[in-house]
Amino acid sequence: INTDYPDAPEGVVLNKIYPEIKRLSKLTVQAAAEVLSISDVQKSFELFGYDYMVDEQFNPVLIEVNTNPCLEFACPLLTNLITELIENTIRVAVDTEYPPPSVGFRTRACEEAIELIESNPLKFAQFYP
């Protein structure tokens, strides 16, 4: 951000923008939690798309929340972002519910897959509940 906005405070994304986006996103889920929890489907999750703008003072402003976010690989940047989004969403939402077999019950292919998954740092975290 400092390349495009040289007057931006150092670390503004990690220290101001990202924490506020996380706070606002969590508030929206808390506000809708009662409605969102009504489901006959067990062990499920939903991916929402949040649209934000950032004002001149680097304050994020929530524009809308989508229940059907666009996951189109429209350019190389989106291809990378969406691929990481899907991989990390599965790691947070599915892998925690269905962990791999115990060490003595794993095949070599299973061990290799676990090593590959664990070699990539988890970039997202569940923030609610």
The CA distance from 46 to 54, in Å, is 25
Q: What pLDDT is stored for residue 1 in this prediction?
A: 79
Cα first-last separation, the chain = 31
Mean pLDDT of the chain: 92
**Confidence at 128, pLDDT banded by 50, 70, 90:** confident
63-89 tens-digit pLDDT: 999 999 999 999 999 999 999 999 999
**Confidence at 37, pLDDT banded by 50, 70, 90:** confident
The CA distance from 99 to 94, in Å, is 8
Q: What pLDDT is stored for residue 86 in this prediction?
A: 93
